[in-house]
Structure 1
Amino acid sequence: MRRILTLAITLFFISQVTTAQEINQNRKKLEATRTDSPPRIDGELVDDTWANVPVANNFVMMRPDNGKPEVDTHKTEVKLVYDDEAVYISAMMYDPEPSKIPAEFTNRDNFGNSDFFMVMMNPIDDGQNPVMFIVTAAGTQIDSKVSNKFNEDYNWSAVWESAHKITDNGWSVEMKIPYRALRFANKPIQSWGMNFHREIRNLNSRYTWNHIDNQQGAWTQYDGLVENLKDIKPPTRLSFYPYASITSDNGTVSSNSILVGFKDLQYNFGMDVKYGITENFTLDATLIPDFGQVGFDNVTLNLGPFEQQFTEQRQFFTEGTELFTKGRLFYSRRIGASPIKSANVDEDNETLIENDDKVKMLNAVKISGRTKNGLGIGFFNAITDKTEATIQNNTTKQVRKETTNPLSNYNIMVLDQQFNQNSSVSLINTNVTRFGDFRDANATGLLWHLEDKKSTYNIDGSVKMTNISDDPSEPNTGYAFDTSIGKHAGAWRWEIGYQFENKDFNPNDMGILFSNNEQGIYGFTGYRLLKPKGIFNNYGINWYYNINFLHHSGVYTGANSGLSFWANTKNRFSFGGNLNYSTERKDFFEPRHYKGSLGGVYFKRPERLNINHWASSDYRKKFAIDYDFWYTFNRQTVEEIDQMSYGFGIRPRYRFNNQFSLIYGLNYSKSENQFGQVSKEDDDTDFYFGQRDWTSYNNSLTGKYTFSPTSSLSLTFRHNWSKVPYDQFFQLNTNNGTLESTTYTGEHDMNFNSWNLDLNYAWQFAPGSQLIAFYRNSIFSSNDNANQSFFKNLDNLFEEPNQHTFSLRVVYFIDYNNLKNIF
């Protein structure tokens, strides 16, 4: 193994020295034209501004048939002019059947079934960090910031103007991209990296102005060049987003009392600020934040040893955070989550009167940007408020307060040096400081991603350290390491790597890690079709493997391997599947005991075979469907009990017209004779496991009616139901990980329901400004009635208390430059 890694690293650095070619050798160039009379943004293309302006044309297919010239019937012509305020772009996209151009109405940042035109703009021309401005054939605006060549952040939103028009010859677009939406140098003459994309749904193809080779490198490395932008200056980038909201939350009332409890209205006022500190760095701050209109979490029943991870939906934590998420040391849901500890209540003598179950964020700020030499710098800070529990003595009636979460400060610092348009080295530090007698935590990571000049071979890796100031008598400094080398260009690709986390590595105060004290060898090899062949536009096949050990003791815990296949046909039918195999495994985490993870106690899991399949039909049609199914088989050594799990998902969707569509989803799963820990005695030797059947249903419905590209009504519904009856119980043999008969009895049946319905109306009444009306109905229940039918469960669920939330929020965009001109 060591010899293979040494040889691979040597070959990598030889290729670095001997390869002198750049990926994008023959980039197209376009002369920028200054104008004194900017065009009116109406999509008409009749302004005199566009006369006698150089044309970007002769587009080349990006996919599926990479490198093929554009067809004569669908030519594209793009023009660009600029003035002291903005860059203006027009595009004429010819189509012989304009009435058949797909143009589904969607709300912002959603493509839908539409043709679109995209400008990919990189003022610093570094091949890694462009921004994208997109207009669909229905007029919807989409924008995104790309980082590290691959990460597309559609949560990033700029304020810019666009208009489109479907004509007798096709469709046209005009765009005005103000300089305040961009970051560029203050130089007298500039050249910007730029590329133009056109998606043609009816032809199932995408064309680009500058050819993008799909065999090597990333698409961000193939920009053309717009030259000679003269005497433009970065403006003062200062924007204010003041907001006001009214929320009415009735807490929980019976289902037939929807209007009861809406007496106390909550009024919130605050503001978000964006300020360009320099031409390359931006400050984002949220003052008195309000996250009352974020979507619900997809909560499920969790009987495992690890926490459930949720996606981030608060815009401040999703927009422009690419620097802070490096190394997976930042899990933003830690900020404003539950208190760090529970209240200490003497159940015999005390009563818990009131308890804050949610930590309030007071404010947050982030500063990020990148110098002209490719050094990215990021600073993040957030402060959360103190939470308390109110406890009363049953005898004396005396009331005391107990702090469950102190005033806390969350901080991140990042340095990210990029070079060669494909490589980077990063240093990140996260820190949590809790005031008072609470734990503090610190984590640091050094990360690297190195590619040769042809972006054929790469080395990825990281080394991380965590330190927790909790109990000085316990070890509190942990380490993790991960490195791999691979080939990620051409038809054949491969990777081989090694990773470990020692027993004390714990980034979970600000990050998320499910298990530590592990090490393993991993890798894959795969083949992909790069040009259409037969009925296929593309397909790929991969084989992966993992060999796993404990880090502290070196105990072999098991291995797994699998074969996967995916394909897309020329008729837009996508499908694939996996065949996975796991050896007998030693699970040191299902026994909920700290020493178990160090190699003392484990649960022996049997060999496991899994097969699954998925498919998706053509979204261009009014009716489309996604489906999947899976089956897993293994045999537990306890009385030779056969275990199996199986399930399916089906998600039909129907587009009634370009404004109205619905998607229904049903997921069903069943696990028979599953085993899991249910109890542990105080002497740390008696671990009790239960044999259970686990059945889950997940019903969902999403729909939207779009009145215009700036006004839409959307519905999101989800009901998750799980029932888990237990059959019999066993005791874990702590010497060999097997299960043995026991006299233990207990009530552990579970019946779990999570019901959420969100109705949301959004109206962008001015550029960057929104009015959002929001309603949510939610029900949660958990009991031991695990043997009822689906419809009986629904009847019982509707008898549970309901929570109804109404909210109205207005956000207004104020640009300092416009404000300055007024005064």
Structure 2
Amino acid sequence: MHNRLLALIIIIFFTTEVIIAQTLNQNRKRIEATRIDSAPKIDGILNDDIWSNVPIAKDFVMMRPDNGKKEPNTHTTEVKLVYDNDAIYISALMHDPEPSKIPAEFTNRDNFGNSDFFMVMINPIDDGQNPVMFIVTAAGTQIDSKVSNKFNEDYNWSAVWESAHKITKDGWVVEMKIPYRALRFANKPVQSWGMNFHREIRNLNSRYTWNHIDNQQGAWTQYDGLIENFKDIIPPTRLSFYPYASATTTTFDGETNFDWSAGMDVKYGLTENFTLDATLVPDFSQVGFDDVVLNLGPFEQQFTEQRQFFTEGIELFTKGNLFYSRRIGSAPIKPVEVDEDNETILRSDDKVQMLNAVKVSGRTKGGLGIGFFNAITDKTETTIQNNTTKEVRKETTNPFSNYNIMVLDQQFNQNSAITLINTNVTRVGDFRDANATGLLWHVEDKKSTYNIDGSVKMTNISDDPSEPNTGYAFDTSIGKHAGTWRWEIGYKFENKDYDPNDMGILFSNNEQGIYGFTGYRLLKPKGIFNDYGVNWYYNINFLHHSDTYTGTNSGLSFWANTKTRFSFGGNLNYSTERKDFFEPRQGSTNGVYFNRPERLNINHWGSSDYRKKMAIDYDFWYTFNRQTIKGVNQMSYGFGFRPRYRFNKQFSLIYGLNYSKSENQFGYVNSDDDNIYFGQRDWTSYNNSLTGKYTFSPISSLSLTFRHNWSKVPYNEFYQLNQNNGELENTSYTEQHDMNFNSWNLDLNYAWQFAPGSQLIAFYRNSIFSSNENATQNFFTNLDNLFSEPNQHTFSVRLVYFIDYNNLKKIL
């Protein structure tokens, strides 16, 4: 069955007709590319002769908020573009009657801050879906991003390019040099590129673009202008090396360890459109901390990826949600089996070491994206000693493992795509292997008004090679996403055997449901609003295995942005009585569930104007159940308060406080062969955070990140779950389950870009983790007890140097 379905998917994929159409951008602006013999000096001063007698991109049009309005005479923009054998060069002259008031906050790379900015969108294949962005702020900060599938902006993608800016008496100026090594383009004697220029003017709360972007239909990437007749430019050898060296010292509970590492990342252009990225002897000693919280639910906590290799250029590999990169190099998959009365663990590897990783990705001239990913992790072991015989044995907790992804993504019509993706995990020895395959589709009509979106997926798990376990998932919807009124309706299911969690993440399977929404949005300013929207959603849920109805969710949401840049919104959410088949931790196929009562939730959020020195984000929420459990009313509530203050263009701080309280919550605590026990508990959580930065210059900054999460959970009563009707019954169960949980992290980071693409980073972390049963103490007593726990201190220095093969070749 598996081979037949896979063959059918491949036949459908490769027989898809590829039709290129341009229906939304018929009146695109055009200018001629001008070839030069000598490059301008990139200094932000437009006095080079080459800028004379060059076609000007001008007459910008407002993108937002008043879409389609012409630029004011006081804030006109003029852009010029020239090129030679090595790069394209762009100058932008941006008039402003009050140059001294132009927002220009210093930030580190890839952060906008409170600054005006100029942006270049470049799409050499002119497909309307996959441009790259190069941005310079009024403070001189460089920002770059790769856009995929019209909406996904990957700011982890980084290129090496040059820029300079000046604030003048008439406004401000940008000069840019973008080397061809930063772009992917065809090797043709004459070619034209899709390009657009954006200008953000914070004081006017507006963004303007050279080629008009209509917000009624399609995506902004489909509205590029055209730079015509680039002649005789040859794609260079795209080969870059990033050798690194790092040293780390860690002190914990009086013991100090020192470690060092050296390795290299490599980027190589295999062809004019495909790039190989490799990390050899990877080092992730300076990644940020995870926002760990107390988890009493039936599902794992999902963490954000912070390793650069797994965040940059992975847009092809994340299609279909079959790739959760934290699976690679995470905790071992096999628990250690130890005789607690007669054995002692001498050494245990709690983290899997990644040995190397490679990814190849690109897109052909016909719009076919191809991606290949491979990573290899080392074996981990636990060393165990017999207390009587002193015999030592080793138990493998994670074998030598190989992770693979293969993706084929055919784009067409500048708005649609069909994707085939396969992920595979192969583990050495008597461990499970896993395979997942998905066929995905997103098809829009030529005017980008209506779309059909969906997927069919299959997983194959081999704990025993003779008895593979195959599962399926399906999801499809049809909707309208253009104009003021939008809607969608869809159906999805995952059967009981669908399991992509060896390389992906799925919290629950054996589910099916009907879902959808309808919404209205304001697309032009009206009254006090720049825009606003109202949405109503619904979900009708069933088990897939037995078709058991489990409950319905529905809600109404509202959001708005005012002309004074105050953003706010809220939600009213409703859930019927629900059968929860996951909280009892028995699997969703054996008929055991917990009855959850009817629930109503209301929440509100707001955000003030970030252009001002002082700004505040806030939210609050309240949830209550319509029925009692065991005669007890349940409710939960909380709030968040996050003020930020910008002292000057270089220094800013953001403080965050989040508080939540759940009263008389009921949840799983334990089980034995015959019984499942639940507890009635109060759950209080505090989350304090502080982030700050001091930016010495656009290439040098000091940043602080602090977070303390505290949760206390005292239990009041215990009950036994009736496995026939999902109700709770009295019991004599009395074990201890109170929890007092603390996670403390403080990171201090200094980064200096001492040369293009090269960095020196010094890093310090202080971390404390504590979990005990003292669930009744107050905040300050808890803090005193936390500081008595052993602290871990980590200090690391890392040097990365950028080497471009083309420059190296010239030197040699």
Equivalences, count: 796
Residue by residue, what CA displacement relative to the aligned partner does 1:668-727 show, whole Å, maximum 9, x if unpaired? 0000000001010123xx110000000000000000000000000000000000000000
What corresponds to 1:110 in structure 2? 111
What corresponds to 2:228 in structure 1? 227
What corresponds to 2:490 in structure 1? 497
Contact 1:552 1:599 in 2 (8 A): no
Q: Report SS of the residue matched to 1:339.
A: coil
Q: Which of 425, 430, 441 is the aligned partner of 2:434?
A: 441
What corresponds to 2:194 in structure 1? 193
In 1, Cα distance between equivalents of 2:745 and 2:342: 38
Contact 1:635 1:641 in 2 (8 A): no
What corresponds to 1:43 in structure 2? 44
Q: How high is the sequence identity, in percent, across the aligned residues?
A: 84
Amino acid at match of 1:489: A
Amino acid at match of 1:147: S
Contact 2:21 2:414 in 1 (8 A): no
Q: Report SS of the residue matched to 1:640.
A: coil
Shift of 1:641: 1.1
In 1, Cα distance between equivalents of 2:694 and 2:140: 15
Q: Which runs of 5+ in 1 are unaligned?
A: 1-15, 254-259
Contact 1:715 1:758 in 2 (8 A): yes
Q: Report SS of the residue matched to 2:807.
A: helix
Shift of 1:462: 0.1
Residue by residue, what CA displacement relative to the aligned partner does 1:742-798 show, whole Å, maximum 9, x if unpaired? 111110000000000000000000000000000000000000000000000000000
What corresponds to 1:722 in structure 2? 711
What corresponds to 2:689 in structure 1? 700
Amino acid at match of 1:376: G
Contact 2:600 2:626 in 1 (8 A): no
In 2, Cα distance between equivalents of 1:354 and 1:544: 52
Amino acid at match of 1:290: D
Q: Report SS of the residue matched to 2:28.
A: coil
In 2, Cα distance between equivalents of 1:111 and 1:402: 50
- Is 1:649 paired with 2:640? yes
Contact 1:144 1:152 in 2 (8 A): yes
Alignment of 1:618-697 (within 5 A): 618-683=609-674, 686-697=675-686
In 1, Cα distance between equivalents of 2:621 and 2:705: 26
- Is 1:517 paired with 2:510? yes
Instruction: Normalising by structure 2, report the TM-score.
Output: 0.97
Q: Which of 573, 597, 600 is the aligned partner of 1:606?
A: 597
- Is 1:506 paired with 2:507? no
Contact 1:555 1:599 in 2 (8 A): no
- Is 1:123 paired with 2:124? yes
Q: Report SS of the residue matched to 1:641.
A: coil
Alignment of 1:303-318 (within 5 A): 303-318=296-311
Residue by residue, what CA displacement relative to the aligned partner does 1:430-481 show, whole Å, maximum 9, x if unpaired? 0000001100000000000000000000000000000000046866100000
Contact 1:553 1:599 in 2 (8 A): no
What corresponds to 1:168 in structure 2? 169
Change (3 A) 1:586 1:473: farther
Q: Report SS of the residue matched to 1:765.
A: strand
Contact 1:466 1:505 in 2 (8 A): yes
Contact 1:96 1:170 in 2 (8 A): yes
Q: Which runs of 5+ in 2 are unaligned?
A: 1-16
Q: Report SS of the residue matched to 1:531.
A: coil
Q: Report SS of the residue matched to 1:781.
A: strand
Contact 1:467 1:478 in 2 (8 A): yes
- Is 1:532 paired with 2:533? no
In 1, Cα distance between equivalents of 2:490 and 2:716: 43
Contact 1:637 1:738 in 2 (8 A): no
Contact 2:551 2:579 in 1 (8 A): yes
Amino acid at match of 1:24: N
Shift of 1:20: 8.6
- Is 1:419 paired with 2:408? no
Alignment of 1:348-497 (within 5 A): 348-471=341-464, 476-497=469-490
In 2, Cα distance between equivalents of 1:128 and 1:452: 15
Amino acid at match of 2:695: T
Change (3 A) 1:236 1:475: closer
In 2, Cα distance between equivalents of 1:130 and 1:629: 39
Alignment of 1:291-330 (within 5 A): 291-330=284-323
Q: Report SS of the residue matched to 2:633.
A: strand
Contact 1:183 1:280 in 2 (8 A): yes
In 1, Cα distance between equivalents of 2:580 and 2:117: 50
Q: Report SS of the residue matched to 1:598.
A: coil
In 2, Cα distance between equivalents of 1:214 and 1:637: 48
Shift of 1:32: 0.3
- Is 1:60 paired with 2:61? yes
Moved over 6 A (4+): none
Shift of 1:266: 1.1
Q: Report SS of the residue matched to 1:571.
A: coil
Shift of 1:343: 1.5
In 2, Cα distance between equivalents of 1:261 and 1:395: 29
Contact 2:462 2:468 in 1 (8 A): no
Change (3 A) 1:475 1:519: farther
Shift of 1:21: 7.2
What corresponds to 1:740 in structure 2? 729
What corresponds to 2:10 in structure 1? none
Amino acid at match of 2:443: L
What corresponds to 1:257 in structure 2? none
Q: Which of 746, 754, 758 is the aligned partner of 2:743?
A: 754
Amino acid at match of 1:331: Y
Instruction: Normalising by structure 1, report the TM-score.
Output: 0.96
What corresponds to 2:336 in structure 1? 343
Q: Report SS of the residue matched to 1:730.
A: strand
Q: Report SS of the residue matched to 1:220.
A: helix
What corresponds to 1:8 in structure 2? none
